[in-house]
Amino acid sequence: METFESDDGHVIVRLDRGDLALESIEAACDDHDVDTGAVVSGIGTFSTLNIHYVDRTDLPTDRSQRNVTRKLDGAWEITDVGGVIADGEPHLHVTGFNGDRTIGGHLEAGCVVNVLGEFTIKKIDGLSLTRKPNERGVSQLTRR
């Protein structure tokens, strides 16, 4: 992993084969003091794609009943990664394609870069956000 920071608060994260995507983005947030920001661009290829997504509309109170988790091995072309960073913690979504299937969801730890990864983080100054669970246990953005 290598990171580059511009004068206007953009952080470019370059990932190489074998790097872990989410873990590297989290490290870049720590290294560059990104408290509130956004991942505004993300592309690459993964050999392991770990995601979860909500597959129901009734939203049960038990969080373990809400999500479908997928660990997908193979060559995944990542066409987009984006999301918000609050309290230094990224909440990111990803879209990937393996030649036959397109899938998207919440980016989880353990996504292994196959060829490369390139992500752009934009720091947002003058705003402090955090996430707090609502009455249904859904983490929602709020001012800190």
Domain spanning 2-143: which CATH class is it, in words? alpha beta
Residue 106 CA: distances (Å) to CA of 33, 41, 66, 67, 94:
23, 15, 13, 10, 6
The pLDDT assigned to 69 comes to 95
Residue 92, pLDDT > 90, answer yes
Give the model's confidence band at 113: pLDDT under 50 very low, under 70 low, under 90 confident, else very high. Answer: very high
Would you kindly state where each structural domain of the chain is located, as residue ranges?
2-143
* pLDDT tens track for 24-82: 999 999 999 999 999 999 999 999 999 999 988 888 777 778 889 999 999 999 999 99
The pLDDT assigned to 135 comes to 84
